[in-house]
Amino acid sequence: MLHAINLTKEFDARPVLNQVNLTVDKNEVYCLLGQNGAGKTTTINIFLGFLEASSGQALINGKDVQSHRAQTNKMIAYIPEVVQLYGNLSGQENLDFFSRLAGFTYTSGELTRFLRKAGLQEEAHSRRLSTFSKGMRQKVGIAIALAKKADVIFMDEPTSGLDPKATAEFTVLCQEFVAEGKSIFMATHDIFNAVNVGTRIGIMKEGRLVHERVTRDITANQLQQLYLETI
Ligand SMILES: Nc1ncnc2c1ncn2[C@@H]1O[C@H](COP(=O)(O)OP(=O)(O)OP(=O)(O)O)[C@@H](O)[C@H]1O
C-alpha cells in the first residue's frame, strides 16, 4: 500500500530525510519512532503531499504522490496530533462536511453509523466539536476516514495526552480499521503503545531509518532497549 523508495528531503541543502526505504502492507499498523527532529513528520508530510521530496518516491497503492496527488489524496486520511475540524459544528456536521468534500453524500442514519463505528458516544454526535476531548476528536477523524473510504490513515502522535482508557479504545479502533484490509502509518514517541497497536516498528535517527522490527518478534522492553541504544 505504501512505499518509500530512497526518499530524501533537504531543507536549504540540509538533509532531513536520507534515502528512506520502507513498505507498509495492507492489514498493517506501522509505527515510526525516533527523537524530535528525526524526520517522522517530514516523511508523513511527503506522503500527504504537503511537502515535495528532494529525490526518491513516495507511493500509495503504486501511485506516486507527487505526480498523482489528486488520486492519492482520495486514498488517504490524516489524523494530526490534535484533530481541529470545525469547532462550531457538531461531530455529525463535521463528518457530513468532510464526507461531502471527499465526494460522498450520506444520510443522517449513515453518518450516525460511521460515528458509532468510530466509537463516538451517541450524545456527542450532535454536540459542538469545540467541547470534545482529544480522544473524541480522534474518533471523528476515524469516522471521516471510514466515510471517505480511505485505504490508509496517517497519524501524528495519536496517543500523546490520551488517558489509558482512551488509548485502549484507540488501539481497538486501529486494529478494527486495518482488519478490513487497510493500513495505518503513525509517528509516535509511545514505545509501549507502538508494540501494542503496531505490526511493524521503524526507528529513525537523523533522517535515516536505522532499524525495523516486526512487533510479534519483540517485547516492549526489548524495543525500549533498542531505541535507547540507537538514539
Ligand atoms: N519547513 C521546514 N523548514 C526547515 N526545516 C524543517 C522544516 N520542517 C522540518 N524541518 C526540520 O526537519 C527535521 C525533521 O523534522 P520532523 O518534524 O520531520 O521531525 P520529527 O521526527 O517529526 O520530530 P518530532 O518528534 O519533534 O515531531 C528537523 O530538523 C526540523 O527542524
3-state secondary structure of 112: helix
Looking at residue 78, its amino acid is Y
CB distance 51 to ligand 1 below 6 Å: no
Inside any domain, residue 38: yes
Looking at residue 205, its amino acid is K
The whole-number pLDDT of residue 83 equals 85
Q: What are phi and psi of 228, to 5 degrees?
A: -65, -35
The whole-number pLDDT of residue 82 equals 84
Inside any domain, residue 25: yes
CA–CA separation, 146 vs 199, rounded Å?
A: 21
Task: Judge contact between 56 and 228, C-beta under 8 A.
Answer: no
Render pLDDT for 96-128 as a digit per residue (tens, 0 to 9).
999 999 999 999 999 999 999 999 999 999 999
Torsion of CA 153, 159, 161, 166, to 10 degrees: 100
Positions in the chain short of pLDDT 70: none
**Whose CA is closest to atom 1 on ligand 1?**
11
Q: The whole model's pTM is what?
A: 0.93
For residue 207, the enclosing domain spans 2-85+150-230
CB distance 187 to ligand 1 below 6 Å: yes
CB distance 17 to ligand 1 below 6 Å: no
Inside any domain, residue 193: yes
CA–CA separation, 54 vs 48, rounded Å?
A: 15
| Lateral strand order in the sheet of 55-60 | 14-24, 2-11, 55-60, 63-64
Inside any domain, residue 102: no
Task: Judge contact between 193 and 213, C-beta under 8 A.
Answer: no
Inside any domain, residue 143: no
Task: Judge contact between 69 and 49, C-beta under 8 A.
Answer: yes
How many structural domains comprise the chain? 1
CA–CA separation, 25 vs 136, rounded Å?
A: 28
What is the distance in A from the centroid of ligand 1 to the CA of 11? 9
Inside any domain, residue 195: yes
What is the distance in A from the centroid of ligand 1 to the CA of 41? 7
> b/e for 172-182, b at 16 or more Cβ within 10 A?
ebbeebbeeeb
Can you name the residues that pair with 31 across neighbouring β-strands? 186, 201
The whole-number pLDDT of residue 81 equals 87
The whole-number pLDDT of residue 43 equals 98
**Whose CA is closest to atom 29 on ligand 1?**
37
Q: Which three cell numbers stand for residue 43?
A: 516523511
The CATH code of the domain that includes 216 is: 3.40.50.300
